[in-house]
Structure 1
Amino acid sequence: MAKDKTSPRKHDVYMLVVEVGRKDGDGLPDGATGAGLVCYASGVDEAEAVRETVAVLKQADLNPLDVTGYGTRAEREAQGETIEEEDAALMQRAFDENAVIVVQMTPFFGDEDRG
């Protein structure tokens, strides 16, 4: 049986939204209770992308509390979402560099900011 060229586990890029809490040295603005981060993360599956993202954020002195996955570009487009050119370029960079890229950080200043 011929070896399938896709046998090595191919990675993809996943969109993740991460909620972080406060931690000394986290760099969040004074008065913030935490933040929401939009990340593009490379992984062979979403679970690996989440693990890598959490590890990178912890190295950056952030305190990840919750991660929500929104799927790959193909999955998002299949659901009717339009991917802007800038986001597509960032996703490609995450793929090319096998990296986690923080696209946006929104500080929370109280419970009314969440949900």
Structure 2
Amino acid sequence: MTETEKPKRPQQVYTLLVQVGRKPGDGLPKGATGAGILCYATGVDEEEAVRETVALLRAADLAPLDVTGYGTLEDRLAEGHEVPEEERKLMARALAENAVIVAEMTPFLEDEG
């Protein structure tokens, strides 16, 4: 390895919760003010995972407003989170495919008052 080469850092999977707003053509249901999207994204660090996720959601005509990172599986377990097998499988798939996996999308609906 030469001095200019950096050691390759391993990809990890991060759990991200992205809030999106409305945008024409976003595919959200009528009456929704936005949505919360749970994603598992790979990156050498959480910042890279966030950048990749935001880019993917923008390419899908969504309008990301805010991203909350919950760390890697190890981070979540250390904080006492229960991580069901289904989530672990999605995380493993994200790592194997070096991808962003959208696990769940919850529209925020206006109150009909």
TM over 0.5: yes
Q: How many residues align?
A: 105
User: How far did 1:9 drift?
Assistant: 1.1
Tell me the TM-score normalised to structure 1 length: 0.89
1:109 equivalenced with 2:109 (yes/no): yes
5+ unaligned residues in a row in structure 1: which ranges?
1-6
**1:35 counterpart residue number:** 35
Query: Which secondary structure state, in structure 1, belongs to the residue aligned with residue 71 of structure 2?
Result: strand
Instruction: Give the distance between the partners of 2:17 and 2:104, measured in 1 at CA.
Output: 9
One-letter amino acid of the counterpart of residue 67, structure 2: V
RMSD: 1.0
5+ unaligned residues in a row in structure 2: which ranges?
1-6
Query: Which secondary structure state, in structure 1, belongs to the residue aligned with residue 81 of structure 2?
Result: coil
Deviates more, 1:84-93 or 1:101-110: 101-110
Q: Deviations over 1:52-101 (max 9, x none)?
A: 00000001110000001000000000111121111000000000111001
**2:4 counterpart residue number:** none
Once the two structures are superposed, the pairs formed by residues 41-80 of structure 1 within 5 Å of their partners are 41-80=41-80
Tell me the TM-score normalised to structure 2 length: 0.90
Query: Which secondary structure state, in structure 2, belongs to the residue aligned with residue 50 of structure 1?
Result: helix
Instruction: Give the distance between the partners of 1:110 and 1:20, measured in 2 at CA.
Output: 15
Instruction: Give the distance between the partners of 1:27 and 1:76, measured in 2 at CA.
Output: 31
Query: Which secondary structure state, in structure 2, belongs to the residue aligned with residue 33 of structure 1?
Result: strand
Q: Deviations over 1:21-61 (max 9, x none)?
A: 00011000001000000100000000000000000000111
Instruction: Give the distance between the partners of 2:110 and 2:72, measured in 1 at CA.
Output: 31
Q: Percent identity?
A: 65
User: How far did 1:8 drift?
Assistant: 1.1
**1:4 counterpart residue number:** none
The runs of at least 4 aligned residues of structure 1 exceeding 3 Å deviation read none
**2:84 counterpart residue number:** 84
Instruction: Give the distance between the partners of 1:107 and 1:52, measured in 2 at CA.
Output: 22
